[in-house]
Amino acid sequence: MNLSSIRNFSIIAHIDHGKSTLADRLLEKTNSMPKKKMAEEQVLDQMDLERERGITIKSHPVRMYYILNDREYELHLIDTPGHVDFSYEVSRSLAACEGALLVVDATQGIEAQTLANYNLALENGLVLIPVINKIDLPGSEIERVKMQLIDTLGFSEDEILLVSAKEGIGIDKLLEAIITRIPPPRGSTEKSLEALIFDAYFDSYRGVVVYTRIFNGSVRKGTKIMMMSNRGVYEVDEVGYFSFGLHPTETLDVGEVGYIIANIKNVKDAQVGDTITDADSPVEHPLPGFKRIKPMVFCGLFPQESNGYQDLRDSLEKLQLNDPALVFEPENSEALGPGFRCGFLGTLHMEIVEERLEREYGVKLVATAPNVVYKVYTKDGRLIEINNPSQFPYYSEVEKVEEPYVRVSIISPSEFIGPVMELCLGKRGVLIDMNYIDPIKVVFTYELPLSEVMFDFFDKLKSVTRGYASLDYEPIGFRESDLVKLDILVKGEPVDALSIIVHRDESEKRAREIVKKLRALIPRQLFEIPIQASVNGKIIARENIPPIKKNVLQKCYGGDVTRKKKLLEKQKEGKKRLKQIGQVEVPQEAFLAILKSE
């Protein structure tokens, strides 16, 4: 297709503002929706987890054709997730586009990820089309939201489009705006191939399926391509575009978004962010690629079965291809054996990774409680960066500890100013700024320890603002804090996978909570199990799990045998879900229980 007939755009917004629903309407209007999908909502959310949770997790590219004023256009839409934990999906999608639809919910107005994604799009130099969605709702406040877009984001009134994705209102106008306002891609077919890998997944038959945007040149079956990062050369097997699955085409040309399959079996050879070029006439420099993103939280993932290490490694590598925000490195736990320390963008991201590993790759996991990274300065002048509490040096060697801080933006209706400030204060927050977006909506800027924001802050924020506040954050570096390592001893033995790093003032309270929880979670065994918590070598909390004294099937005659066998099998199944630590059998939940505080 002629470059001037191509448009590449993403749909970006705060979570739940209606991106995927809007994509449905665009697909319908352009007759791109398969018949059998007509009845579904958010059809691009095809992953089981997306459908179950009703949120978008992955970016989804799809091609559409649309005729405007007798001319046919090829549109590449990429629907993106709104949740802050998946922001890397958004920024990679934006790199494949010239424009973006910034969707704002007419009943909510501008929220924290509206701002964050707006800034991302500007950094990528994209043309933005502001779209107010859900105008069908009785609670919509179109005028107010318009004013926010104009005053806070600098749009002009006549740029703003009004739609209802649900009712299909304003879709024609929107398509027209996409074509007239978003510039066509630039580049040339004559030049050497220059294609950005913005996503990928592993297919066990065909190898890596690369999602790409062609910036120069073209690619077809038989083309010899080279990966710029490691000079790996492959012959292309198939190219095509996305439309509810893969659609093979002759060529993928400059300006287009599509996929390349080249029998790449080693996932390391297809790195997201890498540039693909012609093997025969390679370009000199790769495209800028993506900023490396730093994981915010870490946890240990261990195979439940002791022989599952290699499986877990393969699964992580394959999943990482489809989720480059995930990082991992080998970890050896005394209690849990060999596994991986994994880094995530947030706790939802962590949850999704764990679920995908279990569902898509069939691995059974034991996950430890998440934590952030710490910088520990030792008395002998070393600096140790630790992403795992078990690496915390012995307390007498510790000079000082620093923890990551984030700048947090909270957008909330002004009636909740009091409760929000109180919450942040309790979490060691420092107020930096407070501005009104409009008379009844404020943006707070706070600096807070990441560890406080990460774990239950959002839930608490939602509850003190009756669900109305939204939150975004970015790292601002490390600051000194009075932190200590809290060790948990089970039957006298410290269990490395159960230790956490806490603020000293909190340590006693947390210690008591944790031993109580563990007492409730660890099933009684044949011997007494003391559970102790210690800080700096001093026991500060203790509970005892009394031994089982009686567990026997009383009656067992002819007719009972089968039923009793079932009972025993159940008991055995229960035991299987336990991880043996020394003599003690500990359930998976115990490792996570240490996380939440009351």
Partner 1 sequence: MKEIELYSNKNYIIESIYIGGGTPSIFPAEDIEEIINALSSSGEVKDDIEFTIEVNPGTIDREKLERYRALGINRVSIGVQTLRREELTTLGRIHTSEEALCSIQLAKDAGFTNINVDLIYGIPGQTLESWKDTLKRVLDLDITHISIYGLMYEPGTPLYKSLIRGEVSPIPEDTEVEMFNITQDILRDYSFFWYELSNYAREDYECRHNITYWEGKDYLGIGSSSHSLIENTRYSNTPNIEAYIEILSKNKTPRVWIEKLTPLERARELIMLGLRMKRGVSLSNIFNRTGVDVKEIFAKNIEKLISLGLVNYDGDRLTLTEYGRLLGNEVFVEFC
Ligand X SMILES: Nc1nc2c(ncn2[C@@H]2O[C@H](COP(=O)(O)OP(=O)(O)OP(=O)(O)O)[C@@H](O)[C@H]2O)c(=O)[nH]1
CA distance 342 to 370: 9
Binding residues with ligand X: total (CB under 6 A): 20
Among the listed residues 205, 286, 256, 195, the one whose alpha carbon sits nearest the alpha carbon of residue 62: 256
CA distance 383 to 380: 9
Q: Site for partner 1 (CB under 8 A): which residue of 67, 122, 556, 580?
A: 556
Stretch that binds partner 1, among 120-128, 129-137, 369-377, 557-565 (CB under 8 A): 557-565
Stretch that binds ligand X, among 163-171, 296-304, 532-540, 569-577 (CB under 6 A): 163-171
Which residue do the tokens 């066509």 mark?
184
Nearer to partner 1, 492 or 558 (CB): 558
Q: Is 140 in the site for ligand X (CB under 6 A)?
A: no
Stretch that binds partner 1, among 289-297, 307-315, 395-403, 556-564 (CB under 8 A): 556-564
Half-sphere exposure of 328 (CA within 13 A, CB side): 28
Q: Is 553 in the site for partner 1 (CB under 8 A)?
A: yes
Question: For residue 368, what are its two tokens?
Answer: 């430890």
Q: Is 550 in the site for partner 1 (CB under 8 A)?
A: yes
Q: Site for ligand X (CB under 6 A): which residue of 16, 194, 199, 496?
A: 16
CA distance 50 to 56: 6
Q: How far is the CB of 113 from ligand X (least distance, A)?
A: 8
CA distance 36 to 370: 42
Mask 24-63, x = binds ligand X (CB under 6 A)?
A: ------------------x------------xx-------
Nearer to partner 1, 266 or 306 (CB): 306
Q: Is 212 in the site for ligand X (CB under 6 A)?
A: no
Stretch that binds partner 1, among 306-314, 405-413, 457-465, 570-578 (CB under 8 A): 570-578
Torsion over CA of 530, 532, 537 and 539, rounded to 10 degrees?
-100
Angle, alpha carbons 312-318-319 (nearest 5°):
85
Question: For residue 247, what are its two tokens?
Answer: 């659609």
Please report, as residue ranges, which positions from 78 to 97 form the binding site for ligand X (by CB under 6 A): 81-82
Q: Is 562 in the site for partner 1 (CB under 8 A)?
A: yes
Nearer to Mg ion, 20 or 91 (CB): 20
Q: Which does 164 bind (CB under 5 to 8 A by kind): ligand X, partner 1, Mg ion, none?
A: ligand X
Nearer to partner 1, 205 or 557 (CB): 557
Q: DSSP E strands: which ranges in 364-429?
A: 365-367, 374-378, 383-386, 398-413
Question: For residue 184, what are its two tokens?
Answer: 């066509």
Type of residue numbered 460? K
Task: For residue 454, report the phi and psi dihedrals to the nearest 5 degrees.
Answer: -65, -40
Residue 215's alpha-carbon distances to 227, 240, 520, in angstroms, are 15, 16, 58
Nearer to partner 1, 440 or 548 (CB): 548
Question: For residue 537, what are its two tokens?
Answer: 């070598």
Please report, as residue ranges, which positions from 169 to 228 form the binding site for Mg ion (by CB under 5 A): none
CA distance 458 to 467: 10
CA distance 513 to 4: 63
Nearer to ligand X, 137 or 293 (CB): 137
Among the listed residues 86, 117, 88, 112, the one whose alpha carbon sits nearest the alpha carbon of residue 100: 117
Stretch that binds ligand X, among 159-167, 372-380, 398-406, 474-482 (CB under 6 A): 159-167
Q: Site for partner 1 (CB under 8 A): which residue of 568, 580, 582, 589?
A: 568
Task: Compute the 3-state secondary structure of the chain and give helix, strand, coil in percent, each to the nearest 5.
Answer: 30, 35, 35
- For ligand X, the binding residues (CB under 6 A) are 13, 15-21, 42, 55-56, 81-82, 133-134, 136-137, 164-166
- For Mg ion, the binding residues (CB under 5 A) are 19-20, 56
- For partner 1, the binding residues (CB under 8 A) are 526, 548-559, 561-562, 564-565, 568-569, 571-572, 575
